[in-house]
Amino acid sequence: MNQERRTQRTDTDSRDQVDFYAINSLRENHAGWALVRAQNAPLALHFFMSAFTDPNTRNVGRQRLIDTLDDVLFGVRDSQGEDKFPRSASEYLDDWAAPERAWLRKYYVPGEDEPHYDLTAAAEDVVRWVESLRGREFVATQSRLTSIFTVLKTLVQQSETDPDVRLTELQKQRDTIDAEMQQIRDGNVKVMSAPEALDHFQQLTALAKDLLSDFREVEQNFRRLDRQVREQIATWDGSQGELLDTIFANQQDIGSSLQGRTFQGFWDYLMSPQLRNELNDLLQRATQIDALARVDNLHTITNLHQDWLPAVEQTQGTVRQLSQQMRRLLDDKVFLENKRIMQLIRGVETSALDSRDQPPSGIFMEIDAPTVDIALPFERPLYEPGGRVSVMDQVSAADDGNVDASALFSQFHVDSARLRSNIDSVLEDADQASLADVTDAYPLTQGLAELVAYYQVAAESDWATINQDITQNLSWETPDGAIREATIEQIIFVRPA
C-alpha cells in the first residue's frame, strides 16, 4: 500500500515538474510574457490599444503609427514629466518591432516603399488580458450556459449514427416547436427580458471581438508553416523530383491542416450570399430591440461583417503570398542547379580541348560499335494503291450583287469600364453581389462576349471571388428573340473596403 502511494506521488511530482518547466520556458521565451515584464509596458499597451485594437485596424503605415505614438507620448509626458519616456516615437517603434521583442510585425506591402506594422498574436493576447483586468459591471452567464448546451447538443446529435435516435431527437424538436407555435397563437408570446437581452448582446460582442483577434494567430500559423517549407527547400540535398514532391505535399498540408480547413470553412460561410443576407437582417433587427435601446455601442454590431472582410482578405492574401514565395524559391533553386550543370559542361569541354593534342595512352573510353538494323523482307507491308478521288473541276462565277458583306462590318466592342460601372452601381446598395445580381439589374446586351468580359473583370479584380464549386445560370435574349443560357462558375463581387 505504501509502495502504491509512493508511486502515485512520484507520478504526480513528475507531472508538476513538467508543468513547472513549461511555465518557466514561457516566462523566459514568450514575447507576451516579456511584454508584461517590460519597464515601458504601460506605454506600449496604451499605444497598441490606441493604434490597433480600439479602432480595429491592421496593416498600418509607419508614419501614421509615429503620429499616433507622438500623441500618446505627448499626453503621458504632460502628466508624468518630460523625462518619463525620453526616446522618440520612431525609436520606440523600431524597438518594439525588433526580433527580440516581436510585439509588432514589420513588413512591406507590394508596391509601396513605406513599411507597415501589425500587432503580433502574442501582443494582442496581452492587450486582451489587460482589458479583462479592469473588470466588468455585468458578467454574462446565462447566455454562455445556453451556448454550451446548444454546442453540446449539436455535437452529440450530429455525431449520432443511429437513424432511429436521430429521428427521435428531430421529433422532440418538432414537438417543442409546435407547442411554442400554439402558445403564440393563443396570445402567450414570451419575450426575452432586459437582463437576458443584455447578457446575449455582451456575449455577441465578445465573440465578435475574439474572432477578429483570432485572425492574427491564424495568419501567424500560416506563416510558420511556410517558414518550415522554405527552410526545407534551402537545405535540400535530394533530386529535383523529390523536392517537387515535398513542396506539393507541404503546400497541401497548409491547405488541409486544421487551421487551413477551418479558415476555408469560415471564408465559404462568409462569402455565401444567402448567409450574408440572413446575417445582415439579423443584425438590423437586433438594433431595434427595445431592451437594448440604451446600450452605447449598439449600432457597432451592424458592421461586424464589414470588420471581418478586410481581416479575412489580408489572411487570404498571406496564403497567396506564401505560394508565390515557394514558387520563387523553387525558381531560384532551379536557376542555381542549371548554373551548376553549365559549369560542369564547361569543365568537360575544357578538359577535352586540353587533351586534344596529347591524348592519353591506352584505352580511356569505350563506346558501342555502330550496327545496322536488319528487317526481313516479309516484315514489310505490301503495296496498297490509294483510292481515286473525283473532283469537280467546273468553276461557276458568283454573282457579286447577291453577296451579303454585312457580316464583315457587324463587329462590336465590349466596354469593360461600363461593366465595372454596373458592378459598382449594384454594390452601392449591397456589400456583395453575384454576377447573376449584376445581370438582373443590367441585362446582357452583347451576349456571350459580354459574359466573358465580366469573367475577365472578376479575374483581374482583388475584390472578386470565383467559386469553382458552385455554378450559376445566366441567360440573355438574341436579336432574333431566341433565349440563350450559359452555365459558369459562381462569381461574387465585394464592395472594396
Give the pLDDT confidence score for residue 263 in this predicted structure: 64
Give the pLDDT confidence score for residue 55 in this predicted structure: 78
Residue 212 has pLDDT above 90, yes or no: no
pLDDT-derived band at 246 (thresholds 50, 70, 90) equals: low
- Among candidates 405, 493, 492, 480, which has minimal Cα distance to 447? 480
Q: H-helix or E-strand containing 400?
A: none
Residue 404 has pLDDT above 80, yes or no: no
Give the pLDDT confidence score for residue 102 in this predicted structure: 86
Residue 216 has pLDDT above 50, yes or no: yes
CB 475 within 8 A of CB 485: yes
201 vs 325 pLDDT, higher one: 201
Specify the residue for cell string 458568283: 398
Q: Note the pLDDT tens digit of each residue in 284-314.
A: 777 777 777 777 766 666 666 666 666 666 6
Q: Note the pLDDT tens digit of each residue in 118-129.
A: 888 888 889 888
Most confident by average pLDDT, 126-140, 238-252, 301-315, 332-346? 332-346
Give the pLDDT confidence score for residue 44 in this predicted structure: 92
CB 464 within 8 A of CB 455: no
Q: Which amino acid is at 12?
A: T
* Rounded Cα–Cα distance for residues 435 and 490 (Å): 7
Give the pLDDT confidence score for residue 251 in this predicted structure: 57
Q: What is the 3-state secondary structure (H, E, C) of 122-165?
A: HHHHHHHHHHHHCCCCCCCCHHHHHHHHHHHHHHHHHCCCCHHH
Give the mean pLDDT of 19-34: 85
Q: Note the pLDDT tens digit of each residue in 351-392.
A: 888 877 777 777 777 777 778 778 888 888 888 887 777 777
Give the pLDDT confidence score for residue 65 in this predicted structure: 92
pLDDT-derived band at 477 (thresholds 50, 70, 90) equals: confident
Residue 47 has pLDDT above 90, yes or no: yes
Q: Note the pLDDT tens digit of each residue in 162-192.
A: 888 888 888 888 888 888 888 888 888 777 7
Collapsing DSSP states into helix, strand and coil, what is residue 187?
Answer: coil
Give the pLDDT confidence score for residue 176 in this predicted structure: 85
Residue 336 has pLDDT above 70, yes or no: yes
What's the whole-number average pLDDT of the chain? 77
Angle at which helix 62-80 crosses helix 41-48, to 10 degrees, equals 130
Residue 39 has pLDDT above 80, yes or no: yes
Give the pLDDT confidence score for residue 282 in this predicted structure: 77
Q: For the CA atoms of the chain, what is the radius of gyration? A: 35
Give burial (CB, 10 Å; 0-12/13-18/19+) of 96: buried
Buried b (16+ CB within 10 A) or exposed e, 306-339: ebbbbbbbbbbebbeebeeebeebeeebeeeeee
Q: Which amino acid is at 312?
A: V
Give the pLDDT confidence score for residue 239 in this predicted structure: 66
Specify the residue for cell string 520612431: 90
Give the pLDDT confidence score for residue 4 in this predicted structure: 43
Residue 96 has pLDDT above 90, yes or no: yes
Give the pLDDT confidence score for residue 10 in this predicted structure: 41
The three cell numbers of residue 290 are 427595445
How many Å is the maximal CA-CA distance in the chain? 118
- Does domain 2-133 fall under CATH 1.10.10? My reply is yes
Q: H-helix or E-strand containing 49?
A: none
Give the pLDDT confidence score for residue 14 in this predicted structure: 40
Q: Note the pLDDT tens digit of each residue in 405-416.
A: 666 666 677 888
% of the chain surpassing 70 pLDDT: 71
- Among candidates 120, 493, 111, which has minimal Cα distance to 321? 111
Torsion of CA 412, 414, 418, 424, to 10 degrees: 160
Residue 99 has pLDDT above 80, yes or no: yes
Residue 402 has pLDDT above 70, yes or no: no
Residue 478 has pLDDT above 80, yes or no: yes
* Rounded Cα–Cα distance for residues 225 and 230 (Å): 9
Domain(s) labelled CATH 1.10.10 in the chain stretch across 2-133
* Rounded Cα–Cα distance for residues 260 and 316 (Å): 10
Give the pLDDT confidence score for residue 9 in this predicted structure: 41
Residue 15 has pLDDT above 60, yes or no: no
pLDDT-derived band at 63 (thresholds 50, 70, 90) equals: very high
91 vs 262 pLDDT, higher one: 91
Give the pLDDT confidence score for residue 22 in this predicted structure: 83
Give the mean pLDDT of 460-483: 86
Residue 199 has pLDDT above 90, yes or no: no
Give the pLDDT confidence score for residue 195 in this predicted structure: 73
